[in-house]
Structure 1
């Protein structure tokens, strides 16, 4: 049972489940719905307090009242007791199971009567005493006063199951003495999920435990920081504020950071900045904690893109060199052909023949009688 509010309404479905094969009559098959509430009170009735909040010295005793109200149209018999509180791993405020014996503030509460029979639509203002042991440790002690209704119901297989319906109000007791407010971070686990987009970053997911190692209930602000080698690409993100964590309690939180560049090896740091619950002022101020680990973030898409670019660049260089060789070969062939042509034009034998022919033509005398 999670104790969510000081004045809560319990709803229990009463009546035995029909046993096949004998069908139940309509009147017998309709269970009765009963509701009841628990709230801090005075001898005259509830006074609007959200919880039982006290600050006492070791050895001190006080008397207070709890109002148990039956909102149903029939009498209701309830069990009244106190129990110790704890923080669930999801950050909820819960009480020990009804069959577990309290050892803290739940054991310091005494009632004059443990069983109540409340008439329909009526309220009882029940007194109780709270006695702080002389050796009680300083700091916050949390618990709750519970009014429970035991009932039986049938599970999916038709078996009879005992169910304890509980409604209660919180108790916050601070025992005077030295306060040591502190939160620590442990069990940091980080993983990096890359993106298929080589131009985008991946997602860094960090899961860690925040534990209240002090003696004061605290809340806080978790922060996740990630950076590559030598602090390259350093980024930080704040997670949602924490619910209250009771002394000795712990919860697990998860923080996600998107757009984280894959820089091969990332260093991730989880930290928590403690804060007080409500408007209380603590002296000394709360101490925070940090945890650090590393995670591989290999940029596979970027490496593939780089390999493709390198392959394209190599192909372009190879094609350019091939064209350069072809051009060089063509120029060499042209030069060789030019040399051959020039050699043919300057051959000595060919020149002598031409000169002799020219000389003979020049030495032939003109014919007489021809017209000049």
Structure 2
């Protein structure tokens, strides 16, 4: 709980936005004055960072807000209360000045709608807060606002009315059953691959966290990613979420690096609710999870596999070509050997003459047929 602005200029304000100027007397330029707003007592500020209450339906209390003028001139400000909401980025803001509050901002009453503070002075202004009898249990947030109407030039040079605001937060808890709950919605996932085939890609998940309970909460987001059949599971924790008011929502993005591209990834975004400050949540709220799938094609890895396959094919083809070349060389050598043997045989026959050749043949036949005649003679 913090002051929306402490001793700030009218420019550093709670939700400053162009709005129709309220019907108040002309005010000095906001850049020429500074003022602060803080919780107080009848005797002055008491160190509270915000107006924090816990009341029953139908209860009424009186409290004080201190408005300090740090300028060298008197300052007339509009004084009112408004409802708070959570911005899409997780900020705390109040309704525009022209928008009528319907929650705790409507339960606060001041004696008047404007206040004039002398130069270099402080006023401790009383107000009443009355909780309706039918108020819903849980947290109600708003703020007490002081505003200064001024004019400024827009980007086109036109003069527009601007409501510069400084205020202090209100946190009211109405007694009753508390139901803390956060839900994860609208999960969108994107996978960006890496050119390095040995490294994984980046998985980016964007989702909305909505406070569907009645207690202001923070939360711890986590992101998990798995491939088919649970392969390549990875898990990462993101930074804790800022405060989300009941009924509020914010959009957050969680990134994860080194995610392997396993063709089809399943991403799971989860948020575990947590109490804000020193609150105690009993029982502990459950986490909520949303899932989405995304294609993660391993193009660099596939390219590397194709390259390896081409290199392997080239090596095998080269080996086969070499084997064929060796086979052709061996076959040629054999053929050449046969040819040389064929050429050598006639030359040998011619050198020995016909008689010796015939004698050689007869001698060979004699040695071969001799055993056969021995066997035939024994049988006779």
TM superposition score normalised by structure 1: 0.88
Structure 1 residues 239-283: Cα deviation after superposition (integer angstroms, max 9, x where no partner):
111111000000000011111111111110000111100111112
Cα pair 2:10 2:165 within 8 Å, conserved? no
State the partner residue of 2:264: 265
Shift of 1:6: 4.9
Give the aligned length.
340
CA distance in 1 between counterparts of 2:30 and 2:55 reads: 45
Instruction: Say yes or no: does 1:84 pair with 2:83.
Output: yes
Distance 1:31 1:41 in 2: 24
Task: Provide the C-alpha distance between the structure 2 equivalents of 1:332 and 1:87, rounded to a whole number of angstroms.
Answer: 89
Asked if 2 retains the 8 angstrom alpha-carbon contact of 1:6 and 1:50, the reply is: no
CA RMSD of aligned residues (A): 1.8
3-state secondary structure, aligned to 2:195: coil
Query: Partners of 2:174 and 2:305 in 1: how far apart?
Result: 64
Q: Give unmatched runs, 5+ long, in structure 1.
A: 14-29, 360-372
Show the counterpart of 2:353: 355
- Give CA-to-partner distance per residue, 1:174-205, whole Å, 9 cap, x none: 00001000111010000000011111111111
Cα distance between partner residues in 2 of 1:338 and 1:6: 105
The alpha-carbon deviation at position 234 of structure 1 amounts to 0.5
Aligned to 1:249: 248
How far apart in 2 are the matches of 1:297 and 1:156? 44
1:109 aligns to 2:108 (yes or no): yes
> Is the Cα contact below 8 Å between 2:10 and 2:166 reproduced in 1?
no
Which TM-score applies when normalising by structure 2?
0.86
Aligned match of 2:279: 280
1:306-321 equivalent positions in 2, closer than 5 A: 306-321=305-320
Report the equivalent of 1:23.
Answer: none
Point out the structure with the larger helix share: 2
SS at match of 1:116: strand
Distance 1:292 1:156 in 2: 43
Aligned to 1:5: 3
CA distance in 2, matches of 1:92, 1:194: 33
Q: Please give the residue correspondences for 1:1-372 in structure 2 after superposition, counting only pairs within 5 Å.
A: 5-6=3-4, 8-12=6-10, 33-347=32-346, 350-351=348-349, 353-355=351-353
1: CA distance, partners of 2:191 / 2:115: 57
The Cα of 1:71 is off from its aligned counterpart by 0.6
Q: Call closer, same or farther: CA 1:354–1:249 in 2, change over 3 Å.
A: same
Do the aligned residues in 2 keep the contact of 1:225 with 1:236 (CA within 8 Å)?
A: yes
Question: What secondary structure does 1:166 align onto?
Answer: strand
- Asked if 1 retains the 8 angstrom alpha-carbon contact of 2:5 and 2:37, the reply is yes
Contact (CA 8 Å) 1:180, 1:284: kept in 2 or not?
no
8 Å CA contact retained: 1:229, 1:265: yes
| Change in CA separation of 1:70 and 1:83 when aligned onto 2, cut-off 3 Å | same
Contact 1:205 1:256 in 2 (8 A): yes
Q: What CA distance in whole angstroms lies between the structure 2 residues aligned with 1:72 and 1:173?
A: 32
Answer whether contact 2:10 2:35 (CA < 8 A) is retained.
no
Alignment partners' CA distance in 2, 1:213 and 1:156: 39
Aligned to 2:365: none
Conservation of the 8 A alpha-carbon contact between 2:147 and 2:165: yes
Structure 2 residue runs without a partner (length 5+) = 12-28, 358-380
Contact 1:6–1:51 (CA<8 Å) still a contact in 2? no
Partner SS, residue 34 of structure 2? strand
